[in-house]
Amino acid sequence: MVTVVPSLRDTIADDLRTQITAGHLKAGARLPSEPRLAADYKVSTPTLRNALALLQAEGLIEKLHGKGNFVRHPLRRLTYTGGHLTPDTDLHVTIRTTNVRARGDLIPLLKVPSRTLLTESLYLTYQRESPHSLACIYVPQNLTPAELPWCRPGWAETRETVTARLPTPEEASTLRISSTLAILAITRVSSDATGRVVEAARLVLPGDRANALFITHHTTEERGTEE
Amino acid sequence: MVTVVPSLRDTIADDLRTQITAGHLKAGARLPSEPRLAADYKVSTPTLRNALALLQAEGLIEKLHGKGNFVRHPLRRLTYTGGHLTPDTDLHVTIRTTNVRARGDLIPLLKVPSRTLLTESLYLTYQRESPHSLACIYVPQNLTPAELPWCRPGWAETRETVTARLPTPEEASTLRISSTLAILAITRVSSDATGRVVEAARLVLPGDRANALFITHHTTEERGTEE
DNA sequence: GAGTGGTCTAGACCACGAG
DNA sequence: TCGTGGTCTAGACCACTCA
């Protein structure tokens, strides 16, 4: 340990954290106002706000400007695997589908010419009235006009690139998470046997409520041909 | 957009960010002291420190207590795939191997009885004198006394659970990263054909310098047997 | 308008690193 | 010892929400 003396901020955060996990502060409840809490703990408001920022980064509380600080409902930890979130009970989804033209990063991702017509589907999943995760799926229109996402008819390969980062301000506000809560960003590209890209997806999974699981089976051929 | 007016903190962070990426502030250089910068920007020290905290969370600067704030060397973005970091040139590794006994989370992970003898190998990879990533590999001693890690003789399956989170204080200090820089935490469990766990690994990859790539080949059998 | 959180100030004091 | 960053204070003022 480098720091022997715990800071006031950490002490207060620890106290509130145990009150939340012990159930003294119930899910959905509003915390006392920040000046009130600061007086209770005998600290200044900035110090108290630093403590709350820690809890927010852990996903324990939700700060709503002008309304107050609220204890989050504990969200079940879901596992993303094989293109799905499991278990997907109790999840409801809003889908907004629009037609866009390929631009920027999408061009090399989908391996299509610029301004190719794409179907963009924005999935926003909810768990118990609060946003859970975000997915944006792009399908080239000229390739598969009739096929729905999640059906994988002729997929030969999917590549999933996984990154950990902090959310953009837009992501943070739509998911109602702290801008300091780590998220799992997955870029998934599926292609058919000819190498054509059939679908590309950008997934945003908040780190406090989602894992990703990848299972690799090593066949004997693979093991033999490895360099 | 919700906030129309950019905060001072963000303005200052933007300015310093462009100075760094444009090369006016070179890698390894020390920034002016915080009181000095605060005077230059005509803000208070807490406000300036908030701006620096943003850059620290992006991995652009490194704060060293008592010494100053330094521009980080830009680290190449490495990709973790199939148990390796690629490209692995210019990476050097320190390995510390000890014998421990199974306890806590390791027991269900390795599926061994409590206090089973394990070989623990702590890998700390460096890129250009600064720590890059962290790996802790556990191998049951009774199973494979002569086999080295990274050789995969009888592996039939590996499961990789990927999580995004903020680093623990220990991880942050050994990797010399901000405690607000998102990391990719991978728990990898490999088992042989009989289902016995051959190896378990915990990997910590800072989000500013590492991706993870997973490639799935969909064989026709898989597509047919999917429920 | 009353109450809430968001931002910022101008200091104070402590802890760390190097000479 | 000196300069550095780390923490904290006690306010001020603004923006948002709701009645």
- pLDDT tens, position by position, B123-140: 988 887 778 899 999 998
CATH code of the domain covering residue B66: 1.10.10.10
Residues β-bridged to residue A186: A162, A203
Domain boundary among A39, A71, A103: A71
The answer as to whether A31 is a domain residue is yes
**B2 sits within 7 Å of strand C by its CB:** no
CB contacts of B184 in chain A (<8 Å) are 162-164, 184
The answer as to whether A112 is a domain residue is yes
pLDDT of A221 above 80: no
CATH code of the domain covering residue A173: 3.40.1410.10
Indicate the SS3 state at residue B177. Answer: coil
**B18 sits within 7 Å of strand D by its CB:** no
Task: Report the distance separating Cα A73 and Cα A59, nearest Å.
Answer: 10
pLDDT of A2 above 60: no
| C9 C1' to A34 CA distance, Å | 19
pLDDT of B115 above 80: yes
Domain boundary among A71, A93, A123: A71
Residue A150's pLDDT band, with cuts at 50, 70 and 90, is low
> Is the domain of A135 the same as that of A52?
no
| C7 C1' to B47 CA distance, Å | 9
Task: Report the distance separating Cα A32 and Cα A48, nearest Å.
Answer: 12
Residue ranges of alpha helices (H) inside chain A are 8-22, 34-41, 45-57, 106-110, 169-175, 220-225
Phi-psi region of A82 (alpha: psi -120 to 50; beta: other; left: phi over 0): left
pLDDT digits (tens, 9 = 90+) for B33-76: 999 999 999 999 999 999 999 999 998 999 998 999 999 988 88
> Is the domain of B110 the same as that of B193?
yes
| C18 C1' to B67 CA distance, Å | 9
> Is the domain of A188 the same as that of A115?
yes
The mean pLDDT value for A130-154 works out to: 72
The answer as to whether A219 is a domain residue is no
The mean pLDDT value for B148-171 works out to: 80
Q: Which residue is nearest to nucleotide D14 (CA to C1')?
A: B5
Domain boundary among B71, B88, B112: B71
The mean pLDDT value for A157-185 works out to: 90
> Is the domain of B89 the same as that of B122?
yes
> Is the domain of B42 the same as that of B92?
no
The mean pLDDT value for B110-118 works out to: 91
pLDDT of A137 above 50: yes
Residues in chain B: 227
| CB distance B160 to B186 below 8 Å | yes
Residues β-bridged to residue A71: A61
> Is the domain of A165 the same as that of A126?
yes
Would you say the pTM of this structure is higher than 0.95? no
> Is the domain of B51 the same as that of B148?
no
Which of the pair, B197 or B176, is modelled with greater confidence? Answer: B197
- Residue type for B101, please? R
The mean pLDDT value for A189-218 works out to: 91
Q: Compute CA A68 distance to the chain's CA centroid, rounded to the nearest angstrom.
A: 24
Token pair 């059998």 is at which residue?
A: B221
> Is the domain of B97 the same as that of B119?
yes
Residue A106's pLDDT band, with cuts at 50, 70 and 90, is very high
Count of structural domains, chain A: 2
Q: Which of B46, B159, B183 sits opposite A215 (nearest CB)?
A: B159
Q: Which domain holds residue A171?
A: 78-212
**A216 sits within 7 Å of strand C by its CB:** no
Residue A143's pLDDT band, with cuts at 50, 70 and 90, is low
> Is the domain of B199 the same as that of B112?
yes
pLDDT of B169 above 50: yes
> Is the domain of A44 the same as that of A136?
no
Residue B143's pLDDT band, with cuts at 50, 70 and 90, is low
pLDDT of A223 above 50: no
The answer as to whether B1 is a domain residue is no
Q: Which of A46-55, B104-113, B121-130 has the lowest mean pLDDT?
A: B121-130
DSSP structural state of residue A145:
S
The answer as to whether A1 is a domain residue is no
CA terminus-to-terminus distance, chain B: 43
The answer as to whether A225 is a domain residue is no
> Is the domain of B48 the same as that of B143?
no
Q: Which residue is nearest to nucleotide D8 (CA to C1')?
A: A47
> Is the domain of B16 the same as that of B100?
no
Q: Which nucleotide is nearest to A63 (CA to C1')?
A: C5
> Nearest CA to CA, how far is A215 from chain B (Å)?
5
